[in-house]
A and B are shown apart, each in its own frame.
Chain A
Amino acid sequence: MIRRIHSAHVQNHYSINAVLRHLLTLATVLAVLIFMFTWHVSVGAKSLPLDAVFQALFDGQAVTMTHVIVWDLRMPRALTAALVGGGLGVAGAMLQGVSRNPLAEPSLLGLMAGASFAVVMAVNTFHFSDVFWLPWVAAVGALIAAVVVWLIAQLAPGGLNSLNLILAGSAVTAFLASLVSVVLILNQETFEQLRVWLSGSLSGQKTNELKVAMPLMMVAFLFALYLSSKVTVLAMGDEVALGLGLKTGWLKVQVLICVVVLTACSVALAGPIGFVGLVIPHVVRLFVGVDYRWVIPYSALVGACYLLLVDIIARLALRPEEVSTGIVTALFGAPLFVYLVRARAR
């Protein structure tokens, strides 16, 4: 009896400690996010001092030049960066949890290639420019690509292991990339229209796209949070999850839908941006462990910080030219991928 009380006490003590630690971490991450956001807004053709940006952000009424620049020109881009980074971070975390594969990521598993292929085909064939449907077109492409990759990996000898998933993903990516190149070579107009977008860029006015994608992504974030405890269980293995009474098949479908929506909205907003979904969950797990109830919200916040930072670098590195954000994420992410492969083989 005494022992039981004691152990309950210890457990309680630990969980209070854990909650405190999480609150502290959360506060830090939020502070970093606000700082990154402000910094991101301050960088540009007209460099604004941080305090002016801060003032403009939180002082809704004033109509100064700074105010206009901040709210009308820079905010959409900063919001896009934060949303895309957060979305890809969450998508990567969920994929890694569900497939129990540390290398899983929307671009490596072919989802981004599927989404961009669908968008290129829509723009090229139907001269499609309705912003409202763009995320949906991308979602259909991403979904089909994901299912094909999953099927190939499932049917290959060895089943759904890292190697099969990555190989299937890169095969599907290579195939779709070739088809995209064919379309672009055949139609130079489409090429000119899409070549920056295809390398994953946050430039350009995205206000209309944001209006469509933001609510969708918010819903997907909430859905991801709702699923997060089940993902934690699923990450322990299908048998454990089944034993605990989870409908694993249905859960995987739900996760897939959530991941596809997040990926598709990101692609519609910024083109294919690789390796964010790989990098973020790994960094987050370093700090918060394997509980996806924490991994998923942190992945959203850290992903947003990361992409804001990357976008700042992309805009500052070769001034006045601007490097595509997707290129910078690949430059940072690919070495981590190589490191993970090496670390895992050890």
Chain B
Amino acid sequence: MSNGNLPKTNDLVIRLFNERLSLQVSKSALFVFFMLVVSNVILMALSLTQGAYDMALSDVWEMLVSPFSSSQMTVVVWEFRIPRILVAALVGSMLALSGALLQGVTRNGLADPALIGISQGAGLAVVVISILYPQEASVWRPWVALLGAILVAGVIQFLSWGEKNGGTIRFILIGIGLAAFISSITSVLMTYGQIDRAMSALTWLSGSLNLASWEHVRILLLAVVVLLPITLILSRSFSTLQMGESTAIGLGVSTSVLRTLLMILAVGFAALATASVGPLGFVGLIAPHVARRVAHSGVGMHLLISAAVGAFIVTLADMLGRNAFAPTQISAGLVTSIIGVPFFVMLLLRARVKA
């Protein structure tokens, strides 16, 4: 399978379908990805043991292999803890993918679905439907969130569309302005609800995995199964786009179509993740940067590593949030923001933003 003619011998080259499809994957990146998956599994197992009742790892293992035992702890683990960590991991990887796509498409290292208003759009849509049509909220939530996010993304694109010069700055600043605008509308709904509804809305808006259920796992898994392969198929043209608009056009890529597709994917990932757990800030910002730092790789592999990093961050944030002030739970979104802001400031201090 590996080809001796290539200068880089530590790359794994896979050729399939009579060499019609070939993949070149850096072995070190593959190794990093593998290690990340392993550490994710370990972290998830650890997270399973934590909660109102602490358990030993061996107990968890026992419950995992015998799901139909009727002990109370088995029910707790299978009904609450497992869906929760699965949702955490899925949401984390989706936000990371969204962030990686956004940063690539806008060629702006500071792009994040929460920073530029996409998460707020989804959030507003969900708060609106929860207040106006609470009965139908659970069914329509993902779709409404998707709609809200797409609307906001469209508005941002429309407003920041124009001259090339300063486009990325404008994109971010307009996103910040829109986020403030949308948050103020959300606050109108929040302030005048009953205190218990406002309290639960506050928890949701701060990005909580409290209500995670198997239903969420199903929706998120479906989204990943549909969207991830499309993303990976597009990753090849995506890599040419990152070399610059003219290079991509020169290599025969239809950039406007590709951009639109990638934006839709980014928005889709962020919206569906937000619909399940509320806006989780800064995951989409951090994960792609960390992924770039831990392994040099092509675009496709970078997306996968970002996803693994994102899953790790959210699972960890959820675990920290549950334990830091137990029995009160701090939403994972608050933890990611508190971790994420210093990271953002670090990026701001190091990376030159193209002005």
Contact = CB atoms under 8 A, between A and B. Distances in A.
Given A158-B355, A188-B199, A175 B181 contact: no
Nearest to A192: B195
Given A174-B341, A182-B330, A342-B174, A152 B349 contact: yes
B344 interface: yes
Contacts of B184: 274, 326-327, 330-331, 334
B178 to A, nearest CB: 7
B110 interface: yes
A182 B334 contact: yes
Main DSSP-derived SS at the A contact region = helix
Contacts of B174: 338, 341-342
B344 A171 contact: yes
A309 to B, nearest CB: 17
Contacts of A179: 338
Q: Which of A155, A166, A171 has the most CB of B within 10 A?
A: A171
Contacts of A181: 202, 206, 331, 334
Given A152-B349, A185-B331, A342 B159 contact: yes
A44 interface: no
Interface in B309-353: 325, 328-331, 333-334, 337-338, 340-342, 344-345, 348-353
Main DSSP-derived SS at the B contact region = helix
Interface string A314-344: 0000100101101100110011011001100
Interface in A169-228: 170-172, 174-175, 177-179, 181-182, 184-186, 188, 191-192, 195-196, 199
Interface residues of B, number: 56
A327 B188 contact: yes
B181 A335 contact: yes
A175 B162 CA distance: 32
Contacts of A330: 180-181, 183-184
14 contacts: A157-B353, A158-B352, A162-B173, A171-B348, A174-B282, A181-B331, A185-B330, A186-B325, A188-B199, A195-B198, A199-B187, A321-B192, A334-B178, A341-B170
Interface of B: 110, 115, 159-160, 162-163, 165-167, 169-170, 172-174, 176-178, 180-181, 183-185, 187-188, 190-192, 195, 198-199, 202-203, 206, 281-282, 325, 328-331, 333-334, 337-338, 340-342, 344-345, 348-353, 355
Interface of A: 103, 152, 155-158, 161-164, 166-168, 170-172, 174-175, 177-179, 181-182, 184-186, 188, 191-192, 195-196, 199, 274-275, 318, 321, 323-324, 326-327, 330-331, 334-335, 337-338, 341-342, 345-346
Given A318-B192, A323-B191, 6 more contacts: A174-B282, A331-B185, A337-B180, A341-B177, A345-B162, A345-B170
